[in-house]
Amino acid sequence: MDRPAGGARRPESISLWRYSAALVFVAVVIANACRVADMDLWGHVYFGEAMIRAGRIIANDPYNYSAPNHLWLHHEWLTEVMMAAIYRHWGVIGLKLWHFSVTAFAIAMLSMAEGETGAPAPIQFGVLATAAVTLAAVMQFRPQIFTYALFAAMIFLLTRDCYGRRARLWLVIPMLALWSNLHGGFFIGLVTLGIYTGAIGVEEVITRRGLKRTWRLAALTLAAAAATFVNPIGIECWRTVFVSLNDPLAHKVMSDWRPILTVVRQSGVRGSDNLLLLVWTVYVAALAISVALAPRRDDWPLVAIAAVMTAAAFSAIRNIPLPVIAGAPLLTHHLDLAFHKLAPGKDDLAKSEAPETAGVFQRMSIGGQALIFIASLAVLFGREGLLSAKLPAVDQYPSGAVAFMKDHGLHGNILNPSQWGQYLIWHLAPESKVFYDSRFDTVYPQKVLLQYLDFFFGPPSGARLLNEYPHNFVLVIMKSPIYKTMLEQPGWKLVYRDSVCALFAPGDSQAAAIPGLPVIGKAKKIFFP
């Protein structure tokens, strides 16, 4: 068994599960709070169902007309097949149970990682609950939920190894093989392994202990990297990573790829987003301060990982969960160390009271834990809860326009806002195709993205796109500038509108000949599907 880096005394492993499993369940319920359908859910389930029917991965996209049959970098194929199979057999409730299970796994891994620090149970729960609040906003019905869960599992394994316990690090090899089929975020796992290996190597050079452990970790990292090619798309999984990381245009369009400070400066934050950012800022600040107040050589490889993940979060808002996950055991450990450093006289008293404190938690398991568990279940199964077949949409969608097209037997090519693309594919494909959707650089070339941006967000001259593709319909957001531009376009007629969307068709089309145009509809609250 390897000793901790620097030869420091390893902390005793004290799991929160041992004292109060109900408190861990509370954190799971908090992290599972985001039970809403975002704009990609329709596509994930639809694409997975299409692959199940075809019996293969669909390598060329059949759902758009702006780049027909373009290469599809399908890095999320296994998750989509899984989601489709679950929905086929158990519907929305099945998807909710899947979401809950993955979330619970992530929180369980974080709790076990915190337990490796030996910190008191109240500190462990405080950090775990704060992490759960931050994670609640990102644990959505999307493939990246697996990235957060598997990253938490990797942090648990590395925490055990860092503190000199048997960690079974070989598990990262099958983990990365699975991860590379579930979501393109698998490279985060490899980066984490690389940072840990490098930090251990520096430690062994400084302490002149030899590089035996470093070479073993390096071999493990290389084996894990090789395992990422164990998937049906082979090297294409890595092409997805490189395209996503090196496409500055897509980063400008996708708000979650922009730096935190840029998003705050340009768009501001409101409501729940404001609370999320505040909690995250306090969490990261507490992590930095506690490490600075009580530095240790035994876990500085974990500090290196948390530092890199924090920098990644500042560079792209989508990475906000990474330092929260990587920092959970560190914050737990160093809060405990900082407390004893700032109040040294309390150290012996805390040790003498440890059995009594344990007894409090044990007594709570009889009465208090039961009440906590029941209250958590009430929240979990409440209105539109875990066993409800209703899954509300987080945004508004053009349900009225879709119903209008179906009622009148209309279909064709739809020039649409990207956030509605996969909703339209679910309801209108294969008879109708979209111009663009939220898969961005995994399907569409930059030329199409530029044309899309020019039309929907550029000056009125962007309407020249109307003559460059065979559009049968133009669907726009009702309160957007392009709505007024379309009203002025000769040869195009408004056929339907409500408070959410407006649908235009060519003046000489079948749709334009429908009596009583434009039809004025009423937008409804949307639930998946």
Q: Look at residue 126 and tell me whether its pLDDT is greater than 70.
A: yes
Q: 351: pLDDT confidence band, cut at 50, 70 and 90? A: very low
d(CA 181, CA 371): 41
Q: 365: pLDDT confidence band, cut at 50, 70 and 90? A: low
Range among 287-296, 360-369, 409-418 with highest mean pLDDT value: 409-418
Question: What are 38-73's pLDDT values in tens digits?
Answer: 899 999 999 999 999 999 999 899 999 999 999 898
Q: Look at residue 8 and tell me whether its pLDDT is greater than 80.
A: no
Query: To the nearest whole percent, how much of the chain has pLDDT over 90?
Result: 56
Contact 169, 160 (CB under 8 A): no
- Tokens 């008191």 found at: 120
Q: Look at residue 116 and tell me whether its pLDDT is greater than 70.
A: yes
Q: Write out the two tokens for 466.
A: 């109307």
pLDDT at 204: 86
Q: 358: pLDDT confidence band, cut at 50, 70 and 90? A: very low
Q: Look at residue 462 and tell me whether its pLDDT is greater than 60.
A: yes
Q: Look at residue 145 and tell me whether its pLDDT is greater than 90.
A: yes
d(CA 234, CA 253): 28
User: Closest by alpha carbon to 229, among 175, 176, 191?
Assistant: 176
Q: Look at residue 472 and tell me whether its pLDDT is greater than 70.
A: yes
pLDDT at 207: 84
Q: 318: pLDDT confidence band, cut at 50, 70 and 90? A: confident
What's the rounded mean pLDDT across residues 77-86? Answer: 96
Q: 256: pLDDT confidence band, cut at 50, 70 and 90? A: low
pLDDT at 237: 78
Q: What b/e string do you get for 24-52 counting C-beta neighbours within 10 Å, with b at 16 or more?
A: bbbbbbbbbbbbbbbbbbbbbbbbbbbbe
| Segment among 15-24, 118-127, 352-361, 369-378 with least mean pLDDT | 352-361
What's the rounded mean pLDDT across residues 246-257? Answer: 65
Contact 101, 268 (CB under 8 A): no
Q: Look at residue 257 and tell me whether its pLDDT is greater than 80.
A: no
Q: 200: pLDDT confidence band, cut at 50, 70 and 90? A: very high
Rounded mean pLDDT of the chain?
A: 86
pLDDT at 359: 45
CA–CA distances in Å: residue 160 to residues 15, 154, 193: 12, 10, 14
Tell me how crowded residue 437 is: count the other CB atoms within 10 A of its CB.
25
| Segment among 48-52, 231-235, 494-498, 522-526 with least mean pLDDT | 231-235
pLDDT at 1: 38
Q: 364: pLDDT confidence band, cut at 50, 70 and 90? A: low
Contact 80, 143 (CB under 8 A): yes
pLDDT at 341: 79
Annotated domain spans of the chain: 21-380, 399-528
pLDDT at 241: 77
Contact 497, 503 (CB under 8 A): yes
The residue with greater pLDDT, 504 or 4, is: 504
Question: What are 399-456's pLDDT values in tens digits?
Answer: 999 999 999 999 999 999 999 999 999 999 999 999 999 888 889 988 998 899 889 8
The 8 Å CB, 24+ separation contacts for 189-194 are 189/150, 189/151, 189/154, 189/224, 190/221, 190/224, 190/225, 190/228, 191/308, 192/151, 192/154, 192/155, 192/158, 192/305, 192/326, 193/154, 193/217, 193/220, 193/221, 193/224, 194/221
Question: What are 324-345's pLDDT values in tens digits?
Answer: 999 999 999 999 988 887 876 5
d(CA 257, CA 330): 26
pLDDT at 349: 37
pLDDT at 58: 92
| Segment among 100-104, 248-252, 401-405, 407-411 with least mean pLDDT | 248-252
Q: 483: pLDDT confidence band, cut at 50, 70 and 90? A: very high
Question: What are 150-198's pLDDT values in tens digits?
Answer: 999 999 999 999 987 888 999 999 999 999 999 989 999 999 999 999 9
pLDDT at 7: 39
pLDDT at 20: 79
